[in-house]
Amino acid sequence: MVEGWIKIYAGSEEYQAQLIKSLLENNDLHPVILDRKDDEFRIGVVEVYVAPEEVEEARTVLAENQAS
C-alpha cells in the first residue's frame, strides 16, 4: 500500500471488507485491503484503504449502498 492512503472501513469480519472492496472496484475505484488480524488466533481488524483522490467518491458509493 502506498503511503498517504485513507482508511474508509475497519471491521472484524473479512467478508465485509471483501464486499466493500468489490463494491468499490465495481465503481472503477482501486481499494486495498490490509489484514491486521493476528495470524494464529485471527483476532483484530481488517481495513479497506483508497488513494486520497478516490476518498470522496468511495465514501459516496458506500453511503449510497447503505441507503439502498
**Domain spans of the chain, in order of start:** 6-67
Mean per-residue pLDDT of the chain: 92
Binned at pLDDT 50, 70 and 90, residue 68 comes out as low
Query: Does the reported pTM lie above 0.75?
Result: yes
Contact yes or no for 17/11 (Cβ under 8 A): yes
- The 3 state secondary structure assigned to the chain is CCCCCEEEEEECCHHHHHHHHHHHHCCCCCCEEEECCCCCCCCCCEEEEECHHHHHHHHHHHHHHHHC
Contact yes or no for 44/38 (Cβ under 8 A): yes
4-55 pLDDT per residue, tens: 999 999 999 999 999 999 999 999 999 999 988 777 777 889 999 999 999 9
pLDDT at 2 over 80: no
CATH of 6-67, one of 3.10.350.10, 3.40.50.2300, 3.30.70.1530, 3.40.50.620: 3.30.70.1530
